Amino acid sequence: MSNRKTTALLAGLALIAALSGCASASESGSDVKDDAGKGVTKIGFIMVGPKDDYGYNQAVYEGSQALKADFPDVEILTAENVPEDDTAATTMEQMISKGAKLIFATSYGHLDAAVKVAEKHPDVIVLQQGNTITTDVPPNMGTYFGTVYEPMYLAGIAAGASTKSDKLGYVYAFPIPQTIANINAFERGARSVNPDVETITAATGSWCDPSAQKDKAAALLKAGADVLTQHQDCTATVINTAKEAGAMTVGYHADASALTPDLWLTGAVWNWGPLYKQLVQKVIDGTFVGSEFNANYRVGFKTGTNPFVLAPYGPLVSDDTKAKIEAAKAFLATPDGSPFVGPLKDNKGKEQVAAGVVPTYAENDAMDYFVDGVIGSVK
Amino acid sequence: MSLPVDVLAAGVAGGTSIMFAALGETIGERAGVINLGIEGSMLAGALGAYVVAVETGSPWTGVLVGGIAGAALAAVHAFLVVWRRANQMASGLTVLFLALGLTALFGVKYVGSGKKLDHAFDVWNVPVLHDLPVVGQILFEHNALVYLGFVTVPVVWFALFKTRIGLLVRTAGERAETLTVHGYSVPWLRTLAVTCGGFLAGIGGAYLSIGYANAWRENMIQGKGFIAVALVIFAVWSPVRVMAGAWLFGCALSLGSALQARGYEVNQFLLQALPFVLTLVVLTVIGRRTLSSSPAELKKVFENAETG
């Protein structure tokens, strides 16, 4: 193709892009009614992966299907493997054309498409799972998520009470705030029952690279860890590596006790049912606009709808430990309950939370340091 | 255990997949064909082995099928470059992308925890030898596939340098016209070499999925096939040096993990780059010397690419 033709083509494309941009912008505006979504009879869920991934997306799917029991008259539409680009908007549009008045866009990267669809359809409520709207939240939108570090704190108690070497191993991907909070809560939970325990960390640099997971897990075991846990999307490799070495496992995402029945302690697993039910009820009642959900809504054990719960216990967890975990869970449900109540030092000795201070959810979501007792660097 | 012993032992285990692939690539390049699709053969091997090991419960059948899958893919490359005279670089990359797409498509059922491989190859300490101080821990406390790697090195060396067929393969890479004069088919010899190379690369992939990580994931080879191609040059097309180079790369990988696990404050991204930096440095240092000793027909590939 000649240069001139290419230029003409590019200019044409740019013009089309600009025009379509104007078109969608002109349709935005706040004509959202106060009872938008009232009496919804069809609900759409879009998921970024397959509904049977034994992880994030399966949890969403199971949560969506659980709604059928509470709302037998409501039809649930689901779409799997929806990419985090404009395909997401197209998929949501299709659901709306089928009559859906409530959409759950369940992947972090679905947010942009969700905002676009919400602007275009003031009569539809669009909820996004896990991301945060940094501008004013539109009246027909909301984001929601849970606090995974709470069950990781409880799992830390099980690990701290069970370890013989006083060393716990943590395989993670990147030092992002959510992961850092998980690791810190795990160590804090372990410390609460075992003052000598340390959590050693190793980063794979990927959400799922099985051979890197094997490298890291093996190195943690060599360094003396006898309990392994992780923050990875695929979990089997780390669990198998621990099992082969006779080390215990704390799970993540899914109950994997079937993989390592004798050495399974517990873990953080998903349960979206209760929160989805609350959200749907609010929309059906026509009271969503202006409610607490019409915002960046975060839940924990305090609200009783944390989508992250503790997995069933394995045989190594003693009754005494279970009682301690129950007590800690009750504490986290109190207004001042948190894994990070001050005084809290980082692993370089600097005080991060003053004595008696309870950090907020937002502060925990922005953690950029490892607490005392964690071996590793956030850099 | 001490840090150096840990790093070396983990390096041997971590470098084995690259060693199989680089041994395979050595055979092909000795015959005058460079195969950038070796990464694809590893992917095909990893998926083939995983599927068969899960479905039949027999890991050894998995290894065999993994090898065959790798060989099949390499045969496609051989067909394109030997029989259709396609550009070797372009064909290799095409074959790689074909493998990436196909394995992602057919492997989707096996991602995550849906279909699980419980135990493929257990660690088996070699009697007597593993009691040796230091060396025992480094070399003789692995699983059967690592030992298979140990055995493959002298086998490939023997086949290439001590057998008639090895001589013919090497001649195909050095003075192809001599073979034609004596009535041998250069295309068939090259096809054989490249396909055998793919078989070994397939076993390298199988090692990753059922002998190391015990999981399947799309694109799980993560560039190890390309490292293998680079390694062959660094090793001056010698199987024994390939082994040393693969272990060196494995140690660079395991050094990072071991340092992290012992609480050294090192940047994770720097650690992940270390094995690749090491490979680059070694190639740069050795590069000039190796060029003169590369198979003559292989040099033609590059010279033709430059002029044509």
Domain definitions of chain A by residue range: 42-145+272-298, 149-270+307-375
Residues of chain A with C-beta less than 8 angstroms from the C-beta of B255: none
Tell me the per-residue pLDDT of A138-173, one tens digit each, with 9 for 90 and over. Answer: 999 999 998 889 999 999 999 999 999 999 999 999
Nearest CA in chain A to B7: A219
pLDDT at A168: 98
Residues of chain B with C-beta less than 8 angstroms from the C-beta of A214: 14, 212-214
Predicted ipTM of the assembly? 0.86
Topology of domain B3-120+135-307, CATH: ABC transporter involved in vitamin B12 uptake, BtuC (1.10.3470)
Q: Which of A211, A228, A232, A269 to mutate to test the interface with B (most CBs of B within 10 A)?
A: A211
Residues of chain A with C-beta less than 8 angstroms from the C-beta of B253: 215
pLDDT at B307: 41
Q: What percent of chain A has pLDDT over 90?
A: 67
Structure tokens at A365: 């979501």
Q: Which of A51, A52, A176, A215 to mutate to test the interface with B (most CBs of B within 10 A)?
A: A215
On the question of pLDDT at A195 being above 50, the answer is yes
Nearest CA in chain B to A207: B217
Q: Do A269 and A286 form a contact (C-beta atoms < 8 A)?
A: no
Nearest CA in chain A to B121: A244
Comparing CB atoms, the residue among B10, B112, B268 nearest residue A218 is B10
Q: What percent of chain A has pLDDT over 70?
A: 92
On the question of pLDDT at A56 being above 90, the answer is no
DSSP collapsed to 3 states, B8-23: HHHHHHHHHHHHHHHH
Residue with tokens 């430990």: A321
Can you tell me the distance from the alpha carbon of B161 to that of B174, in angstroms, rounded to the nearest whole number?
Answer: 14
Mean of per-residue pLDDT scores for chain A: 89
Instruction: Give the torsion sign (CA, A210, A212, A213, A217).
Output: positive
On the question of pLDDT at A2 being above 50, the answer is no
Least confident of A6-20, A130-144, A274-288, B165-179: A6-20
Least confident of A16-20, A76-80, B59-63: A16-20
pLDDT at B115: 61
Tell me the per-residue pLDDT of A280-297, one tens digit each, with 9 for 90 and over. Answer: 999 999 999 999 999 999
Can you tell me the distance from the alpha carbon of B166 to that of A161, in angstroms, rounded to the nearest whole number?
Answer: 61
φ and ψ at residue A44, rounded to 5 degrees: -105, 140
Can you tell me the distance from the alpha carbon of B199 to that of B25, in angstroms, rounded to the nearest whole number?
Answer: 10
Interchain proximity A209–B254, CB inside 8 Å: no
Interchain proximity A235–B111, CB inside 8 Å: no
Comparing CB atoms, the residue among A54, A208, A376 nearest residue B263 is A376
Q: Measured between CA atoms, how close is A224 to chain B, in angstroms?
A: 9
Q: Which residue has the higher pLDDT, A81 or B36?
A: B36
Contacts of residue B47, defined as CB under 8 A and 6 or more positions apart, other chains included, come to: B69, B103, B106, B107, B110, B205, B209, B216
Least confident of A22-36, A252-266, A288-302, B179-193: A22-36
Domains A42-145+272-298 and A149-270+307-375 in one fold? yes
Strand partners of residue A171: A202, A230
Helices B164-174 and B296-307 sit at what angle, rounded to 10 degrees?
Answer: 30
pLDDT at B119: 65
Q: Measured between CA atoms, how close is B200 to chain A, in angstroms?
A: 19
Structure tokens at A10: 């590019």
Of chain A, the end-to-end C-alpha distance in Å amounts to 48
Q: Helix, strand, coil: what percent of chain B each, to 5?
A: 75, 0, 20
CA A337 from chain centre, in angstroms, equals 20
Residue A18: pLDDT band with limits 50, 70, 90: very low
On the question of pLDDT at A12 being above 80, the answer is no
SS3 call for A144:
strand
Topology of domain A149-270+307-375, CATH: Rossmann fold (3.40.50)
Interchain proximity B257–A175, CB inside 8 Å: no
Strands A351-353, A344-345: pairing kind: antiparallel
Average pLDDT over residues B2-16: 93
Residue B306: pLDDT band with limits 50, 70, 90: very low
Least confident of A60-74, A109-123, A296-310, B179-193: A296-310
Give, in order, the Cα–Cα distances in Å from A162 to each of A197, A252, A320, B140: 11, 18, 11, 31
Contacts of residue A178, defined as CB under 8 A and 6 or more positions apart, other chains included, come to: A148, A149, A231, A365
DSSP A107: S
Residues of chain A with C-beta less than 8 angstroms from the C-beta of B6: 219, 222
Indicate the CATH number for domain A42-145+272-298: 3.40.50.2300
Nearest CA in chain A to B14: A215
Interchain proximity A211–B208, CB inside 8 Å: yes
Q: Measured between CA atoms, how close is A158 to chain B, in angstroms?
A: 22
Average pLDDT over residues B254-274: 84
Q: Do A369 and A346 form a contact (C-beta atoms < 8 A)?
A: yes
Of A28-37, A79-88, B161-170, B297-306, the range with the highest mean pLDDT is B161-170
